[in-house]
């Protein structure tokens, strides 16, 4: 749908602070909507710094969010509404924007890409990246589906992110552990139960304009593997042959075409199986885990800024990587942190582009059960994937955590 308001007036829902700054640098007047329960005041002040106005609301109140979007669009003659943040609050925001004629995407495209079960059904309907799978509304239905499908199977909440609630089910004990874990975490259905795909994993970042999808880069993903598949490192660009790269491009672009996606970033995860690439999931946002910084480090291409340049009408020009970049995540024993040595030495390394360790002495280090409970990361640049791996290993070797009352026998669902 063609936006009807002033083309340079942009309303963003849940925009990260750098998005507002980069949109303003691209020539947009920006209004921003945030839920104050999700960020501290200091961060909201950063968002407000480059916005015409920062508006606050409760994202769990869908009717209230839609009403605020409608009022802001009408009051300020907004030309475009974008939501590039977390998926949970996207459906009401995009639905309202579409109803007002100011969404660059149909709500149906955003919904089908963000919902793992809906995406899997769409692919199956068109015979693309076919994976044997069943949807399940409850944990009891998951158990029934697991009985019907050949084991092992992967089970995951259809609308969660960050590896939350993902598990490999090999037997009844795995199913019991998973059921306890998602129940305790409040990860309600629907769920997806699907065949276990084996092979190297990749993240594909795309930027779409007027329904044309441009692959900005492919990142190799390293995980803990079964049973929880928590990411341990990423390398960009992925070391792939031309045929492998072409096959991954084709399947991702095919998905975005089928979904009817028109504009903006998408982050699609793919496993390169012996039968060819199979899509794991997709989201209508940028990839997490500092993948945008990896792209910028390797290619001098700011994909965040490119979103707003594209919205302003500039053509998309995918970059050519000149270096290798990698992010390595930190994993320490769970327990009370007494001290951490080596952080200053890591920061002083000339190839370290960013380092993040959000804990101080006295804090509890949680057991790592998903992407949100890892203990930090470092981003390095290098001339090759092998050199990047060596540099990540050196960074990890420099960090020495003194953890008191560390968990000696990691509980189910955790990583030591």
Confidence of residue 410 (pLDDT cuts 50, 70, 90): very low
DSSP, res 16: -
Q: Do domains 198-322 and 325-404 have the same CATH topology?
A: yes
Tokens 């795309």, residue located = 206
The β-bridge relationship of strands 78-83 and 6-13 is parallel
Residue 231's DSSP bridge partners are 223
Per residue in 22-38, pLDDT (tens digit) is: 999 999 999 999 999 99
pLDDT value of position 1 = 42
pLDDT value of position 406 = 56
pLDDT at 160 over 80: no
CA pseudo-torsion sign 36, 39, 42, 43: negative
pLDDT value of position 162 = 64
Average pLDDT over residues 198-204: 96
- Decide: 255 and 128 in contact? Cβ < 8 Å: yes
CA 406: distance to chain centroid?
Answer: 30
Per residue in 187-196, pLDDT (tens digit) is: 888 899 999 9
**Residue 197 CB burial class (10 angstroms; 0-12, 13-18, ≥19):** middle
Per residue in 76-120, pLDDT (tens digit) is: 999 999 999 999 999 999 999 999 999 999 999 999 999 999 999
Where in the chain are the domains?
6-104, 132-195, 198-322, 325-404
Confidence of residue 405 (pLDDT cuts 50, 70, 90): confident
The CATH class of 325-404 is alpha beta
Residues 6+ apart with CB under 8 A from 306: 207, 216, 316
**What architecture does CATH give domain 132-195?**
2-Layer Sandwich (3.30)
Residues 6+ apart with CB under 8 A from 35: 14, 56, 57, 58, 59, 60, 89
Residues 6+ apart with CB under 8 A from 159: 87, 88, 114, 115, 116, 190
CATH topology assigned to domain 6-104: Rossmann fold (3.40.50)
Per residue in 271-294, pLDDT (tens digit) is: 999 999 999 999 999 999 999 999
Note the pTM of the prediction, 2 decimals.
Answer: 0.91
pLDDT value of position 408 = 45
Confidence of residue 74 (pLDDT cuts 50, 70, 90): very high
The C-alpha R_g of the chain, in whole angstroms, comes to 21
Tokens read off for 206: 């795309």
CATH topology assigned to domain 198-322: D-amino Acid Aminotransferase; Chain A, domain 1 (3.30.470)
- Decide: 181 and 172 in contact? Cβ < 8 Å: no
CA pseudo-torsion sign 249, 252, 255, 256: negative
- Average pLDDT value for the chain: 93
């Amino acid at each position: 749908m063609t936006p009807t308001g002033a083309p340079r007036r942009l309303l963003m829902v849940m925009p990260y602070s750098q998005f507002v700054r980069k949109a303003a640098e691209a020539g947009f007047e920006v209004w921003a909507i945030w839920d104050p329960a999700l960020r501290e005041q200091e961060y909201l002040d950063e968002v407000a710094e480059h916005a015409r106005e920062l508006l606050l609301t409760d994202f769990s109140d869908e009717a209230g969010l839609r009403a605020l979007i409608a009022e802001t669009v009408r009051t300020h003659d907004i030309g475009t509404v974008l939501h590039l943040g977390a998926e949970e609050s996207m459906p009401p925001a995009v639905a309202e924007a579409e109803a007002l004629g100011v969404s660059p995407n149909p709500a149906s495209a955003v919904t089908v890409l963000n919902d793992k079960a809906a995406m899997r059904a769409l692919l199956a309907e068109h015979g693309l990246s076919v994976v044997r799978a069943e949807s399940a509304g409850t944990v009891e239905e998951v158990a029934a589906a697991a009985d019907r499908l050949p084991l092992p199977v992967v089970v995951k909440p259809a609308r969660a992110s960050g590896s939350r609630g993902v598990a490999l089910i090999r037997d009844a004990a795995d199913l019991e552990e998973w059921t306890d874990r998602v129940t305790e975490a409040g990860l309600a259905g629907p769920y997806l139960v699907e065949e276990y795909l084996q092979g190297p994993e990749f993240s594909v970042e795309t930027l779409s304009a007027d329904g044309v999808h441009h692959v900005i880069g492919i990142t190799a993903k390293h995980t803990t593997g079964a049973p929880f598949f928590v990411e341990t490192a990423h390398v960009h660009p992925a070391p792939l042959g031309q045929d492998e790269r072409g096959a991954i491009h084709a399947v991702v672009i095919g998905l975005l075409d089928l979904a009817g996606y028109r504009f903006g970033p998408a982050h699609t995860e793919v496993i390169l199986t012996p039968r060819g690439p199979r899509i794991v999931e997709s989201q209508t946002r940028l990839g997490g885990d500092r993948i945008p910084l990896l792209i910028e480090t390797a290619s001098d291409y700011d994909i965040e800024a490119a979103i707003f340049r594209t919205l302003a009408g500039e053509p998309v020009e995918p970059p050519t990587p000149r270096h290798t970049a990698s992010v390595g995540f930190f994993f320490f024993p769970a327990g009370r942190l007494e001290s951490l040595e080596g952080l200053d030495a890591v920061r002083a390394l000339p190839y370290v582009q960013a380092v993040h360790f959000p804990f101080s002495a006295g804090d509890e280090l949680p057991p790592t059960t998903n992407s949100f409970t890892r203990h930090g990361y470092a981003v390095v640049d290098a001339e090759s994937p092998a050199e990047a791996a060596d540099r990540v290993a050196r960074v990890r070797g420099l960090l020495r955590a003194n953890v008191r009352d560390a968990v000696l026998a990691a509980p189910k669902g955790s990583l030591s």
